[in-house]
């Protein structure tokens, strides 16, 4: 809690307003062996943090790890994924945040049968408790679910889509990007969308994130996006990369009116 508040105080002094909460904030909170309710230990402090920093324009999110798989064929894996999602949503709920603060996951696995895997994903989304469903967002990935495929599942499961440009560049599929981005915006209803940005690290495995966003990717983002959005920078340079991207957008007219 102390570290979270320190980060937010420092961020308040600059232009950055998106923060992804770490999954280990409450260690082992979603583990099946945990035998006590952890929420009263942090509820008051989280509520104070939320009340203090949301009025300053902050937007929070969480991105549970790669093993949070809702469409797994193993019921135990699915249950552990549900536990992790509930924990992530509980953190945001304890901060007293509205539904614009989200929890992002990928589509999951294919298991040799895309049709069945996609059907299981939609069914799992439709069964989510309301407290989780109101926050869950699906993201296109670089291997298994491209933007068109994840949109198909999200539209039927009733959840928004986070567009990841880097993943789309690696795994574009066949759909027209302009049309798909309009569908992305529609999944958010009246909430301002959020996208993810990173750039390919040279001479590294495909999908590896570089330290900073490349100018060409920032140019592409500004050119292709048909709507105003919040941008989560996923570069390895972290806040240095985010400040670099912000400076580039300010210089090139990519910031919305009123953004410092």
Helix (H, G, I), strand (E, B) or coil at 99: coil
- Going by pLDDT thresholds of 50, 70 and 90, the confidence category of residue 24 is confident
β-bridge mates for residue 194, sequence order: 230
Q: What is the average pLDDT across 183-193?
A: 97
Q: What is the average pLDDT across 195-207?
A: 97
In a domain, residue 230? The reply is yes
Quote the pLDDT of residue 146. 98
Range of the domain at 242: 2-251
Q: Tell me whether strands 102-106 and 161-164 are parallel, antiparallel or unpaired.
A: unpaired
- Going by pLDDT thresholds of 50, 70 and 90, the confidence category of residue 4 is very high
* Spatial separation of the C-alpha atoms in residues 138 and 136, rounded to whole Å: 7
Burial status of residue 85 (CB atoms within 10 A of its CB: 0-12, 13-18, 19 or more): buried
The domain that holds 36 is classified in CATH as: 3.20.20.150
Q: For 59-69, what is each residue's pLDDT tens digit?
A: 999 999 889 99
In a domain, residue 72? The reply is yes
In a domain, residue 121? The reply is yes
- pLDDT of residue 15 exceeding 80, the answer is yes
183 within 8 A of 155, measured Cβ to Cβ: yes
Between the CA of residue 195 and those of 7, 73, 82, 106, 185, what are the distances in Å? 22, 29, 24, 13, 10
In a domain, residue 257? The reply is no
Q: For 85-138, what is each residue's pLDDT tens digit?
A: 999 999 999 999 999 999 999 999 999 999 999 999 999 999 999 999 999 999
Quote the pLDDT of residue 256. 87
209 within 8 A of 167, measured Cβ to Cβ: no
Between the CA of residue 133 and those of 109, 128, 236, 259, what are the distances in Å? 20, 6, 30, 30
Q: What is the average pLDDT across 29-38?
A: 89
- Which residues, other chains included, contact 167 with Cβ-Cβ below 8 Å and sequence gap of 6+? 139, 140, 141, 142, 146, 196, 207
Q: What is the average pLDDT across 69-77?
A: 97
N-terminal to C-terminal alpha carbon distance within the chain: 27
- pLDDT of residue 189 exceeding 90, the answer is yes
In a domain, residue 66? The reply is yes
CA dihedral angle for residue 21, residue 24, residue 27, residue 31, rounded to 10 degrees? 100
Q: What is the average pLDDT across 30-44?
A: 91
In a domain, residue 259? The reply is no
Quote the pLDDT of residue 28. 86
- Which residues, other chains included, contact 74 with Cβ-Cβ below 8 Å and sequence gap of 6+? none
In a domain, residue 229? The reply is yes
Domain count, the chain: 1
- Which residues, other chains included, contact 13 with Cβ-Cβ below 8 Å and sequence gap of 6+? none
In a domain, residue 258? The reply is no
* Spatial separation of the C-alpha atoms in residues 206 and 241, rounded to whole Å: 20
Between the CA of residue 117 and those of 45, 110, 167, 215, 247, what are the distances in Å? 40, 5, 20, 37, 41
């Amino acid at each position: 809690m102390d570290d979270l508040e320190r980060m937010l105080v420092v961020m308040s002094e600059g232009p950055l307003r998106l923060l992804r909460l770490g999954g280990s904030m409450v260690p082992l909170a979603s583990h099946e062996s945990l035998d006590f309710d952890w929420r009263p230990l942090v509820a008051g402090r989280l509520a104070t943090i939320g009340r203090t920093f949301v009025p300053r324009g902050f937007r929070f999110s969480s991105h549970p790890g790669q093993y949070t798989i809702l469409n797994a064929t193993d019921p135990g894996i699915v249950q552990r994924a549900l536990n992790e999602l509930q924990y992530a949503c509980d953190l945001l709920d304890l901060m007293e945040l509205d539904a614009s603060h989200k929890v992002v996951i990928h589509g999951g696995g294919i298991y040799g049968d895309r049709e069945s895997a996609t059907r299981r994903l939609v069914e799992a989304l439709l069964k989510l408790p309301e407290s989780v469903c109101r926050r869950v967002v699906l993201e296109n990935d670089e291997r298994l679910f491209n933007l068109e495929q994840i949109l198909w599942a999200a539209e039927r499961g009733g959840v928004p889509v986070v567009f990841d440009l880097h993943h789309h560049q690696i795994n574009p599929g066949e759909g027209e990007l302009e049309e798909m981005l309009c569908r992305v915006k529609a999944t958010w209803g009246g909430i301002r969308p959020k996208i993810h940005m990173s750039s390919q690290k040279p001479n590294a495995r495909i999908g590896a994130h570089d330290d900073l966003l490349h100018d060409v990717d920032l140019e592409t983002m500004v050119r292709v996006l048909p709507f105003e959005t919040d941008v989560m920078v996923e570069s390895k340079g972290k806040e240095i990369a985010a400040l670099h991207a912000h400076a580039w957008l300010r210089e090139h007219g990519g910031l919305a009116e009123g953004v410092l």
